[in-house]
Amino acid sequence: MSAVAYVTVDVFTSERFVGNPLAVIPDARGLSGDAMQKIATEFNYSETTFVLPPENPDHTARVRIFTPTAEIPFAGHPNVGTAFVIAQQPDIFGKHAGDRLIFEEDAGLVDVTLLREDGKIIGASIRAPGNLAIGETIADDLIARCVQIDAQSICRATHAPTFASVGLPFAFAELDSLETLARAWPNAAVFSEAAARHREDKTGFSLFLYVRPAENPWHIRARMFAPLDNVTEDPATGSASAALGAYLASLLPAQDAEVKITIEQGVEMGRRSLIGVHVRKSAGTVNEVLLSGRSIHVMRGEILL
């Protein structure tokens, strides 16, 4: 019988048992893709990461990301949490980790900067690997039926419900109030209908709902549902937050803009998360999306194989 070490962290928080839990396998050498999927399913977190030596020795590591049902090309909280974990090891596959890491992922290279406070690593900031891609719009009625709310509660003043991505696609819709956001709950059968109608994402149909208060439109409250991936609700979704920030910045009338956004997620689950998004737009094009957050260690142990 063999064993592989694991670490879990809570991401986008500095408080244990809130934020978004992540399992990290810091040395996944020798594990097949099938074994990785089984381990991710066993943890049943929204994502589990597996760290491997990089193909290019100038990079830090190759990182593979699995949901409970499938491998995905990129995600936000797995990168923030994985960087937090492996940067505190004595070395990463024989190399010392500086404050800048580069992860090889299916979506491309992910540039990571460690965040420190009084010399201690507290989290990480990552640069989204993909350019902003905007997909097709989605009918209000379909969004409403997915989460069992009134279609009249969907706001269209800024944008219609639509897909957007900076590495992983999500459906986005703005709602009229925190009360409507609190009432939302996924209907898996309708999510299956939506996935059949909109095949933007091979893993299913992931829906990110949000509310922007008039007094502070850059402090956003959100919820994310992906029941087809066995993630009924996710307490913090970095890749969706990055895509939303990029999309909202792209809609600003100014050709050049720099926007700092805080996205608060997981409140309704009792796992409050704070996600930082920093977007730069130049000559009408979003050219940089940074995603940042804190992490904290929770568990460590071994998986028996």
| Alpha-carbon separation of residue 98 from 84, 115, 125, 289, 291 (angstroms) | 12, 11, 14, 22, 19
Mean pLDDT over each residue of the chain, to the nearest integer: 96
Gap between the Cα atoms of 108 and 128, Å rounded: 9
pLDDT at 204: 75
Query: 201 pLDDT exceeds 80?
Result: no
The pLDDT confidence band at residue 203, using thresholds 50, 70 and 90, is low
CB-count burial class (<10 Å; 0-12, 13-18, 19+) for 29: exposed
Query: 1 pLDDT exceeds 80?
Result: no
User: pLDDT tens, 32-79?
Assistant: 999 999 999 999 999 999 999 999 999 999 999 999 999 999 999 999
Query: Average pLDDT of 120-140?
Result: 96
pLDDT at 72: 94
| Partners of 211 in the β-ladder | 221
Q: How many CA atoms lie within 13 A of 34 on its CB side?
A: 1
The catalytic site residues sit at: 47
Between residues 116 and 201, the one the model is more confident about:
116
Least confident span in 204-208, 246-250, 269-273: 204-208
The pLDDT confidence band at residue 202, using thresholds 50, 70 and 90, is low
Helices 188-197 + 140-147 axis angle, to 10: 150
pLDDT at 117: 96
pLDDT at 61: 98
CB 211, CB 265: distance < 8 Å: no
Query: 157 pLDDT exceeds 60?
Result: yes
Gap between the Cα atoms of 246 and 212, Å rounded: 15
Gap between the Cα atoms of 159 and 174, Å rounded: 8
pLDDT at 235: 97
To the question of pTM greater than 0.75 for the whole model, the response is yes
Query: Average pLDDT of 191-204?
Result: 79
Structural domains for the chain: 3-127+294-304 (3.10.310.10), 133-293 (3.10.310.10)
Which two structure tokens, joined as six digits, stand for 58? Answer: 């100038």
pLDDT at 97: 83
Least confident span in 29-33, 167-171, 178-182: 167-171
Task: Decide the pairing of beta strands 219-226 and 231-234.
Answer: antiparallel
Task: For the chain, give the percent of residues with pLDDT over 70.
Answer: 99
Task: For the chain, give the percent of residues with pLDDT over 90.
Answer: 95
